[in-house]
Amino acid sequence: MPRLLLVEDEPGLVLTLTDRLTSEGFEVESATDGESGFKLALSNQFDILILDVMLPKKNGFDIIRDLRQRGIETPVLMLTARGQVVDKVVGLKLGADDYLTKPFDMMELMVRLEVLLRRRSYVPPASGDTYQFGELELNFKKGSILKSGKPVELTAQEFRLLKYLVEHPGQVISRDELLTEVWGIDASLTTRTVDVHMSWLRQKLEENPKFPARIVTVHGLGYRWEGAGK
Protein backbone atom coordinates (compact mmCIF):
# COMPACT_ATOMS: atom_id res chain seq x y z
CA MET A 1 0.00 0.00 0.00
CA PRO A 2 1.65 3.28 -1.05
CA ARG A 3 2.10 5.74 1.79
CA LEU A 4 1.13 9.27 0.90
CA LEU A 5 1.65 12.51 2.77
CA LEU A 6 -0.78 15.31 2.02
CA VAL A 7 0.25 18.81 3.10
CA GLU A 8 -2.73 21.07 2.56
CA ASP A 9 -4.36 23.73 4.71
CA GLU A 10 -7.89 23.72 3.27
CA PRO A 11 -9.83 21.41 5.60
CA GLY A 12 -12.43 20.63 2.94
CA LEU A 13 -9.84 19.53 0.44
CA VAL A 14 -7.96 17.48 3.04
CA LEU A 15 -11.17 15.64 3.84
CA THR A 16 -12.15 14.99 0.23
CA LEU A 17 -8.67 13.96 -0.81
CA THR A 18 -8.11 11.72 2.18
CA ASP A 19 -11.40 9.92 1.53
CA ARG A 20 -10.75 9.43 -2.12
CA LEU A 21 -7.09 8.47 -1.79
CA THR A 22 -7.86 6.00 0.97
CA SER A 23 -10.54 4.36 -1.15
CA GLU A 24 -7.97 4.15 -3.97
CA GLY A 25 -5.68 2.14 -1.72
CA PHE A 26 -3.37 4.80 -0.33
CA GLU A 27 -2.33 5.03 3.26
CA VAL A 28 -2.82 8.74 3.86
CA GLU A 29 -1.30 10.99 6.46
CA SER A 30 -1.92 14.71 6.38
CA ALA A 31 -0.52 17.93 7.77
CA THR A 32 -2.25 21.27 7.61
CA ASP A 33 0.76 23.54 7.93
CA GLY A 34 4.12 23.60 6.23
CA GLU A 35 6.25 23.11 9.27
CA SER A 36 4.67 19.89 10.49
CA GLY A 37 4.40 18.69 6.89
CA PHE A 38 8.11 19.22 6.42
CA LYS A 39 8.93 17.33 9.62
CA LEU A 40 6.80 14.39 8.57
CA ALA A 41 8.31 14.33 5.08
CA LEU A 42 11.80 14.38 6.57
CA SER A 43 11.12 11.02 8.18
CA ASN A 44 11.38 9.69 4.63
CA GLN A 45 8.73 7.07 5.17
CA PHE A 46 6.40 8.14 2.37
CA ASP A 47 6.22 6.94 -1.20
CA ILE A 48 4.77 10.18 -2.48
CA LEU A 49 3.99 13.71 -1.30
CA ILE A 50 1.20 16.06 -2.31
CA LEU A 51 2.24 19.60 -1.43
CA ASP A 52 0.15 22.71 -1.58
CA VAL A 53 2.14 25.85 -2.39
CA MET A 54 0.43 28.38 -0.13
CA LEU A 55 0.68 27.00 3.38
CA PRO A 56 0.92 28.52 6.84
CA LYS A 57 4.36 28.57 8.53
CA LYS A 58 6.38 27.17 5.63
CA ASN A 59 5.32 27.29 2.00
CA GLY A 60 5.46 24.43 -0.45
CA PHE A 61 8.50 25.83 -2.27
CA ASP A 62 10.54 26.03 0.91
CA ILE A 63 9.51 22.54 1.89
CA ILE A 64 10.58 20.98 -1.37
CA ARG A 65 13.85 22.91 -1.51
CA ASP A 66 14.78 21.89 2.02
CA LEU A 67 13.82 18.27 1.42
CA ARG A 68 15.90 18.00 -1.74
CA GLN A 69 18.84 19.67 0.00
CA ARG A 70 18.69 16.98 2.63
CA GLY A 71 18.67 14.27 0.03
CA ILE A 72 15.00 13.31 0.44
CA GLU A 73 13.96 12.25 -3.04
CA THR A 74 10.33 11.34 -2.43
CA PRO A 75 8.33 12.24 -5.56
CA VAL A 76 6.35 15.45 -5.09
CA LEU A 77 3.16 16.52 -6.76
CA MET A 78 2.55 20.22 -6.16
CA LEU A 79 -0.84 21.85 -6.00
CA THR A 80 -0.92 25.36 -7.37
CA ALA A 81 -3.70 27.89 -7.54
CA ARG A 82 -5.25 28.65 -10.88
CA GLY A 83 -3.18 30.87 -13.14
CA GLN A 84 -0.04 30.84 -11.02
CA VAL A 85 2.23 29.91 -13.91
CA VAL A 86 5.28 31.13 -12.04
CA ASP A 87 4.50 28.65 -9.29
CA LYS A 88 4.77 25.73 -11.64
CA VAL A 89 8.11 26.83 -13.01
CA VAL A 90 9.59 27.55 -9.62
CA GLY A 91 8.21 24.33 -8.19
CA LEU A 92 9.67 22.18 -10.92
CA LYS A 93 13.00 23.94 -10.69
CA LEU A 94 13.16 23.27 -6.98
CA GLY A 95 12.60 19.59 -7.53
CA ALA A 96 8.87 18.96 -7.76
CA ASP A 97 8.10 16.10 -10.10
CA ASP A 98 4.73 17.31 -11.30
CA TYR A 99 2.05 19.85 -10.50
CA LEU A 100 -1.68 20.14 -10.69
CA THR A 101 -3.69 23.35 -10.83
CA LYS A 102 -6.62 23.80 -8.48
CA PRO A 103 -9.41 23.01 -8.90
CA PHE A 104 -8.53 19.65 -10.38
CA ASP A 105 -10.28 16.53 -11.42
CA MET A 106 -9.86 13.54 -9.09
CA MET A 107 -9.22 11.21 -12.00
CA GLU A 108 -6.46 13.50 -13.20
CA LEU A 109 -4.89 13.42 -9.76
CA MET A 110 -4.98 9.62 -9.65
CA VAL A 111 -3.34 9.34 -13.04
CA ARG A 112 -0.54 11.72 -12.04
CA LEU A 113 0.10 9.87 -8.79
CA GLU A 114 0.25 6.56 -10.58
CA VAL A 115 2.82 7.87 -13.03
CA LEU A 116 5.00 9.24 -10.23
CA LEU A 117 4.82 6.01 -8.26
CA ARG A 118 5.72 3.94 -11.28
CA ARG A 119 8.70 6.15 -11.95
CA ARG A 120 9.89 5.73 -8.39
CA SER A 121 9.63 1.99 -8.39
CA TYR A 122 11.84 1.77 -11.44
CA VAL A 123 14.08 -1.26 -11.13
CA PRO A 124 16.78 -2.45 -13.49
CA PRO A 125 15.53 -4.92 -16.10
CA ALA A 126 15.01 -8.51 -15.01
CA SER A 127 17.61 -9.72 -17.50
CA GLY A 128 19.87 -8.92 -14.57
CA ASP A 129 23.22 -7.88 -15.90
CA THR A 130 22.26 -5.19 -18.37
CA TYR A 131 21.14 -1.75 -17.32
CA GLN A 132 19.53 0.56 -19.83
CA PHE A 133 19.45 4.31 -19.18
CA GLY A 134 18.29 6.16 -22.25
CA GLU A 135 21.15 6.01 -24.72
CA LEU A 136 23.41 4.22 -22.22
CA GLU A 137 23.62 0.45 -21.99
CA LEU A 138 25.74 -0.87 -19.16
CA ASN A 139 26.71 -4.46 -18.59
CA PHE A 140 28.95 -4.74 -15.57
CA LYS A 141 29.41 -8.48 -15.86
CA LYS A 142 30.73 -8.27 -19.39
CA GLY A 143 32.37 -4.97 -18.61
CA SER A 144 30.79 -3.38 -21.65
CA ILE A 145 29.54 0.19 -21.71
CA LEU A 146 27.67 1.37 -24.77
CA LYS A 147 26.57 4.90 -25.56
CA SER A 148 24.09 5.04 -28.45
CA GLY A 149 25.33 1.58 -29.39
CA LYS A 150 29.00 2.59 -29.49
CA PRO A 151 31.47 1.20 -26.96
CA VAL A 152 32.84 3.61 -24.38
CA GLU A 153 36.32 2.91 -23.02
CA LEU A 154 36.49 3.26 -19.26
CA THR A 155 39.48 2.81 -17.02
CA ALA A 156 39.12 0.21 -14.28
CA GLN A 157 38.63 2.98 -11.74
CA GLU A 158 35.99 4.75 -13.77
CA PHE A 159 34.25 1.44 -14.23
CA ARG A 160 34.16 0.76 -10.50
CA LEU A 161 32.95 4.29 -9.83
CA LEU A 162 30.15 4.03 -12.39
CA LYS A 163 29.10 0.64 -11.04
CA TYR A 164 28.86 2.03 -7.53
CA LEU A 165 26.73 4.98 -8.71
CA VAL A 166 24.38 2.83 -10.73
CA GLU A 167 23.93 0.37 -7.89
CA HIS A 168 22.81 3.22 -5.62
CA PRO A 169 20.33 5.06 -7.84
CA GLY A 170 18.70 8.22 -6.58
CA GLN A 171 20.82 8.36 -3.43
CA VAL A 172 23.14 11.12 -2.41
CA ILE A 173 26.63 9.64 -2.24
CA SER A 174 29.29 11.69 -0.52
CA ARG A 175 32.85 11.97 -1.76
CA ASP A 176 34.06 10.35 1.43
CA GLU A 177 31.81 7.39 0.87
CA LEU A 178 33.13 7.03 -2.68
CA LEU A 179 36.71 7.19 -1.50
CA THR A 180 36.09 4.46 1.04
CA GLU A 181 33.90 2.23 -1.12
CA VAL A 182 35.41 2.66 -4.55
CA TRP A 183 39.03 3.55 -3.94
CA GLY A 184 39.51 1.89 -0.58
CA ILE A 185 41.09 3.89 2.18
CA ASP A 186 44.27 5.56 1.08
CA ALA A 187 45.67 8.55 2.88
CA SER A 188 47.13 10.06 -0.28
CA LEU A 189 43.73 10.52 -1.83
CA THR A 190 41.58 13.57 -1.40
CA THR A 191 37.99 14.23 -2.28
CA ARG A 192 39.33 16.16 -5.25
CA THR A 193 40.26 12.78 -6.74
CA VAL A 194 36.60 11.88 -6.78
CA ASP A 195 35.69 15.09 -8.58
CA VAL A 196 38.33 14.53 -11.24
CA HIS A 197 37.17 11.00 -11.96
CA MET A 198 33.55 12.13 -12.00
CA SER A 199 34.38 14.73 -14.58
CA TRP A 200 36.09 12.07 -16.75
CA LEU A 201 33.07 9.81 -16.46
CA ARG A 202 30.78 12.66 -17.41
CA GLN A 203 32.90 13.47 -20.45
CA LYS A 204 32.49 9.90 -21.61
CA LEU A 205 28.89 9.23 -20.72
CA GLU A 206 26.90 12.42 -20.57
CA GLU A 207 25.09 13.89 -23.53
CA ASN A 208 26.20 17.30 -22.34
CA PRO A 209 28.93 16.97 -19.70
CA LYS A 210 28.53 20.60 -18.66
CA PHE A 211 24.93 19.93 -17.71
CA PRO A 212 25.04 16.34 -16.53
CA ALA A 213 21.74 14.50 -16.51
CA ARG A 214 22.94 11.18 -15.12
CA ILE A 215 25.72 11.98 -12.68
CA VAL A 216 24.29 14.87 -10.75
CA THR A 217 26.17 16.99 -8.24
CA VAL A 218 24.31 17.45 -4.98
CA HIS A 219 25.71 20.68 -3.72
CA GLY A 220 27.70 20.29 -0.53
CA LEU A 221 26.84 16.62 -0.23
CA GLY A 222 28.21 14.61 -3.12
CA TYR A 223 26.83 12.95 -6.21
CA ARG A 224 23.73 11.10 -7.30
CA TRP A 225 23.02 8.71 -10.14
CA GLU A 226 19.79 9.59 -11.91
CA GLY A 227 18.48 6.23 -13.00
CA ALA A 228 14.85 7.13 -13.51
CA GLY A 229 13.44 8.84 -16.55
CA LYS A 230 14.84 8.67 -20.04
To Ca ion, the closest distance from the beta carbon of 45 in angstroms equals 24
140: closest CA among 166, 112, 172?
A: 166
Buried b (16+ CB within 10 A) or exposed e, 162-173: bbbbbebbeebb
Contact mark string toward Ca ion, 120..159, x via CB under 5 A: ----------------------------------------
How many residues appear in the chain? 230
Q: Which is nearer to Ca ion, 7 or 165 (CB)?
A: 7
Residue 72 or 79: the one with the smaller Cβ distance to Ca ion is 79
- The contact mask relative to Ca ion for 3-32 (x = CB under 5 A, - = no) is ------x-----------------------
Tell me how far, at minimum, the Cβ of 218 lies from Ca ion, in Å: 29
Whether the CA torsion 162, 169, 73, 182 is positive or negative: it is negative
Pairing state of beta strands 76-80 and 136-139? unpaired
Q: How far is the CB of 88 from Ca ion (least distance, A)?
A: 15
CB of 197 to Ca ion, least distance (A): 45
* Under rule CB under 5 A, residue 87 binds Ca ion: no
* Among 26, 30, 52, 160, contact with Ca ion (rule: CB under 5 A): 52
Q: What is the DSSP string of 184-197?
A: ---TT--HHHHHHH
> Could you give phi then psi for residue 141, rounded to 5 degrees?
-70, -45
Positions that interact with Ca ion (CB under 5 A): 9, 52, 54
